[in-house]
Amino acid sequence: MAEALELGGYEVIGRLAVGGMAEVYQARARPTTQRSPGEPEEVVLKRLHPSFRADAAYVKSFVDEAKLTVRLRHPNIVRTFRLFKAGPDYLMVQELVSGRTLAFMQGLLMKVGTSMPPEASCYIAWCVLKALDYIHRAKVGENGANIVHRDVNPTNILLGVQGDVKLTDFGVAEVDGVMAGEAGALRGTVAYMSPEQVLGQSVDARSDLYAVGVILWELFANRRLYGTEQGGEAELMLRVRDARAPLLSSLNLGMPDYAVQVVRKALFADRTRRYQTAAEFIKALEVLAQRAGWPLSVEALRPLLGG
C-alpha cells in the first residue's frame, strides 16, 4: 500500500479541489502536530500550487489571503486557523465544512429539473449577506481599511450537511492599502461581477451586493442569468456590463411581487440605485420572508438536507 501523503504534519485524506493558484485537501493532524487553539483534528489544507512557489506575486497573494482570513470570525465565513511554511510549501489550515458548494447543488437541481425552494434561496442569500455585512464593517490594517470580497459566487458558498451556509475564498479580496491587484485587472468570476467590476472600475461593498443579487435571481429562476452559451466570454462581459436582467415576473414563476422588487433593486447597473449596505439588503429579505411566511432559519433548508 502506498504511504499516505503528508503535508506539514497533516495526513492527507483526499484532494477536494484545484484552483487557479492553490490545491485544497482534506487532512488530519498527526498526534505530534502542533495545532492552533480551537483547531479540530480534521481540517482543510490549502496549499499554494508548487508551480507558483518561486513567484513572489503569487506567494504574497496567498500569504495576504491567510493574514486577512485568520482575523475573520463569523458563523457564515469559513474560518482560517493559521498559515505556515513546511519545506517549500506554503500552507493554510482552514475549517472543514462537510457538504457541497452552492454551485454543485444548483447544477444538480437544474439537471433533474427541480427548482431550489424559494425559502431556501432566501435563507442562503440572507446568510451570505450576514457574512458580507460583517466583512464590510470590519476594519483591517493600520489604516482601518475596508474589505471587498470581489468574488461572491456559488462556487465560493458552502452548504454544510447540518445546514451551515458559509462564504469562503478571499483570494481576490480587496483591502485598501493592504491587498489589491493590478489597476483595471479583472479579478473574480465574470458572470457574478457587477457592471463596474467588469469595466475595471473601482469597486466597493455594493459590488459584492450585486453578486448576491445575481445569485438570488438564479436561485429563484432556476437558470443562469449570464450564461456563456452565446458568443463566449466577450459577449458575456457585454451582457454583464449592460446589466439587463429580465424581471422575475416575466418568467411566470409565481414569485411574490415583493421578491421581484427585492431582486430588481439588487441588480441596477447604477450602483447608487442598489442596496447601499448589506444591512439594507438583509432587511429587505427579512421583510420578504415575513410576508411570504418563509422561515429565516435552517428549517428553510430542510428540503435540501433530506430532513
Q: For residue 234, what are the contacts with CB-CB under 8 A and spacing of at least 6? A: none
Single-letter amino acid, residue 50: P
Distances (CA, A) of 249 to 118, 210, 216: 14, 19, 14
Give the DSSP per-residue string, 111-123.
HHT-PPPHHHHHH
Q: Is the CB of residue 56 less than 8 Å from the CB of residue 99?
A: no
Q: Which residues pair with 145 in a beta bridge?
A: 140
C-alpha cell at 100: 457541497
The H or E element that residue 10 is part of is: strand 10-18
The catalytic site residues sit at: 151
Task: Give dist(CA 160, CA 186) in Å, integer.
Answer: 30
Count Cβ atoms within 10 A of the Cβ of residue 230 and give its class: 0-12 exposed, 13-18 middle, 19 or more buried. exposed
Buried (b) or exposed (e) across 83-117, using 16+ Cβ within 10 A? beeeeeebbbbbbbbebbbbeebbeebeeeeeebb
Q: For residue 244, what are the contacts with CB-CB under 8 A and spacing of at least 6? A: none
